[in-house]
Structure formats: structure tokens, C-alpha cells
Amino acid sequence: MALEDAKKQVDLAFTRKERRGLAYENAFGGATSFLRRTYTKDLTDVEIAVTGIPFDQAVTNRTGTRLGPRAIREASTLQPYDPPYGWPFDPLGETTIIDYGDMPFDYAHTPSFPGLVTEHIQTILASGAASVTLGGDHFITLPILRAYAEKYGPMSVIQFDAHSDLWADDDYDRIDHGTFMYKAVKLGLVDPKRSVQIGIRTECDDYCGMNYIDARTVHEKGIAHVVEQAKTLVGNNPTYVTFDIDALDPAYAPGTGTPVWGGLASWQAAAVLRDLAGINIVGGDVVEVSPPFDHGNITAVAGAHVAMELCSLIAWRLKGK
């Protein structure tokens, strides 16, 4: 069936008639929507809306993450032939997932950007869908969390990252990817006691009440310990998962702006994400994929797999698995 479909499927981003199901279009051709989902602005009956926010004007080192959403979409074309390995269900066949496209904004008017992000996500949430966002640098998570906290109250956050992003900065007009979590906590968008950061391996003077599991602890105590701690901390609270690709070691994700050695291996990140199944995840993002510094697109591939796992975690919750 797959081979026969492959002979006639092309540009499924625009031509597919059903919003659910696997896709067999040639990975190297066609319109590269995320996982070959339908490109549409129609949120009717949508369960998960994948959207890109191509912004990198808040970085402290290398730019390039504005090209992340495009690269992640292209890398994802290898994935929709089969259900994601290891899940006991087919999220592409059982869940209505669309590609909502990228958020438009004026690149030359940075002050207006945060409000546009919040409005963009508010539109998705108002429809009843969850959002999975392709970044973009990590600043985008702050205005996204504004939209989520407006709907759900103070969020639990599971943050995969090399950095805490808790630099003290009380200038709330400043746009900086290293301060987004500090501001999210201070603004009451995030409940730090019910949140956890995983993979940390840079210094932080004040964790602002956030729990953290550094990279060495992940390596030494293992997946089961990390997952147990994370699940205990977030409980059944509405949870947002944000995955900075630099949580991975640069050997697995060189295409990022602020790489730090000693990070997670791809298999560790995959195992932790998979075993988080059952948390009350209501949204997520993958950020900081920077194609200009990538090699063989391995960082974009990692980002595409993370985004697929986020969709699977949300679908698992939606189906009451």
C-alpha cells in the first residue's frame, strides 16, 4: 500500500483530503509542511497546531535560528511513513494535526514582537487546539507562556536546556533569550516549585525556586530517576514542555547558537520524552535550531524528532491513554 501511494502522492501539504493519516510522499520532494500535515489557517476541529516562529533577535551569540522552522519541517519529511517508534498508538492517524504555518511579524519592529506571539498562540488556544511551536530562539517561550497562563493559570514547565535562562533582568521591555524564565517566574506565568529544568550545565546564581536536574545527574542516575522526579514535580498541573536543542551535547546538535559540552545524548532525550507520557501536557516548543551551524542537518533532524514527541505526548493525553 505504501509503495503504491508513494507513486501518486505529492504536495500533500496542499493536496491531502484527510487531515489524519500517514504520508508516503517522497521525502526529497514536494511542499515541506511539518510531517506532511495540511498547511491551513482553519483551526476547526484541530487538536494540535504546529506553528513556526522564525525569530532570532534575542540571542547572545550566534544567530541563525530564524531559519529553524524551515529546517525542522524539511527534516521531518522522513518521519510520516510510520508511527513514531515505541509508541503503542499512531498519533498521526488518531489525532488531527495541522501545520498552521509561520507567524508573520515585522522583523524591523522588534518591540511589537512579543505581543504578536501572545496573540498568535491565543488564537490557537481559543480554538481548543494545543500548540507545538518550532523556533526561533528561546525568548519566544515567554510570550507563548503568557497565552498559556491566561488560559490555564501558572504553568508547570519542563525545560530541557543547557542554560537556566534565569539571568536576573527586571526590564520587561528587554528581549533576551537568557532571561525568559526569570521573567516568566516573576510575572507569575510559571509555578517554579512545580517545574523542572533538565540538562543544565552552566552556572546560575539564583534558580528562583525552580527545580533542576543537571546533565551529570542525568548521566549518572539515569532515565528512570529523571522521569520520576519530573512527573512527581509537575503532578497533574497543566504542563508546558520547552526543549532548547542545546540540551543535547554539541556532538548531537552542533547547529545551535550557544553550545555547551557535556550534554544529553539523543537517546537520553528521546527516552525521557517518551517516558513522560501521562503528564498533563497542554503545549510545547523546540527552539534554538540554527541551520547555518548545522552539519548534515543532524540538529534539524533532532528538532523534528523532538517536535514529533511533543505531538505524541499531547495526543496521548487527548486520547486518555
Residue percentage of the chain with pLDDT more than 90: 95
Specify the pLDDT at position 132: 98
- Cα 84 to chain centroid, rounded: 16
> For residues 48 and 313, what is the distance between their CA atoms, to the nearest angstrom?
11
Mind listing the domains of the chain with CATH numbers?
A: 2-318 (3.40.800.10)
Tell me the sheet residues that pair with 286: 134, 243
Binned at pLDDT 50, 70 and 90, residue 289 comes out as very high
Q: Is the whole-model pTM more than 0.85?
A: yes
Q: Give all strands of the β-sheet with 130-135 in edge-to-edge order.
A: 97-102, 48-53, 130-135, 281-287, 239-244, 156-160, 196-200, 211-214
SS3 49: strand
pLDDT averaged over the chain? 96
Residue 229, phi then psi, degrees to nearest 5: -65, -45
**Of 188, 232, 185, nearest in space to 210 by CA:** 185
Specify the pLDDT at position 125: 98
Judge whether residue 1 has pLDDT over 60: no
Residue 106 region by backbone torsions, left for phi larger than 0, else alpha for psi between -120 and 50, else beta: beta
> For residues 17 and 152, what is the distance between their CA atoms, to the nearest angstrom?
34
> How many C-beta neighbours within 10 Å does residue 151 have?
14
Mean pLDDT of 127-131: 98
Q: CB–CB of 267/251 below 8 Å?
A: no
DSSP string, 96-115: -EEEEEEPP--TT-GGGHHH
Specify the pLDDT at position 244: 98
Specify the pLDDT at position 229: 98
Specify the pLDDT at position 3: 64
> For residues 144 and 285, what is the distance between their CA atoms, to the nearest angstrom?
9
Q: Is the dihedral of CA 138, 139, 145, 147 positive or negative?
A: negative
Buried (b) or exposed (e) across 192-215, using 16+ Cβ within 10 A?
bebbbbbbbbbebeebbebbbbbb
**Of 266, 223, 222, 225, nearest in space to 247 by CA:** 266
**Of 282, 274, 286, 269, nearest in space to 312 by CA:** 274
Give, as one character, the DSSP assignment of residue 259: -
Cell output for 297: 542537518
Specify the pLDDT at position 95: 98
Binned at pLDDT 50, 70 and 90, residue 7 comes out as confident
Judge whether residue 321 has pLDDT over 70: no
